[in-house]
Structure 1
């Protein structure tokens, strides 16, 4: 399973690291790739819910772009 998310507010590598660390704590999340300029977050893994991803992103201090 591969899922893509758009995240608002990431401006630097530190932002990306914070989001990555939070997502990697989710059981089943295996690979996290982040493109800071576009705000795109790609998560690979098994049975990772969108709710868990949104919560991890919020814990890191950012929000999903729901548009």
Structure 2
């Protein structure tokens, strides 16, 4: 299982979390999504390779910015 963590900017509430979760859930290979507007973090896990660029694009489609955490 691979896990990628992102820092997301622009989230202010639970609705923001829900919007991101819905978009990221559409990315192939994603099995688990944890997102928190309080910490500004998004953690995505999948059984196969999960494309980092696809996650970032999904977050942007939801109206937010994501950068992979180091």
The runs of 4+ residues in structure 1 deviating greater than 6 Å are: none
Structure 2: give runs of 5+ residues left out of the alignment.
Answer: none
The number of residues matched between the two structures is 67
SS in 1 for 2:38: coil
Q: Which residue of 2 aligns with 1:55?
A: 57
Deviations 1:9-35 (A, max 9, x none): 000000000000000001100100012
Give the equivalent residue in structure 2 for 1:17. 18
What does the per-residue CA deviation read over 1:13-58, in whole Å, with 9 as the maximum and x for residues that have no partner? Answer: 0000000000000110010001211110000102111100110000
**Counterpart contact for 2:6–2:68, Cα < 8 Å:** no
What is the DSSP-based 3-state SS (H/G/I as helix, E as strand, rest coil) of the residue aligned with 1:2?
Answer: strand
Task: Give the TM-score of the pair, scaled to structure 2.
Answer: 0.89
Q: TM-score, normalised by structure 1?
A: 0.92
Q: Is residue 34 of structure 1 aligned with residue 41 of structure 2? A: no
Where does the alignment leave 5 or more consecutive residues of structure 1 unmatched? none
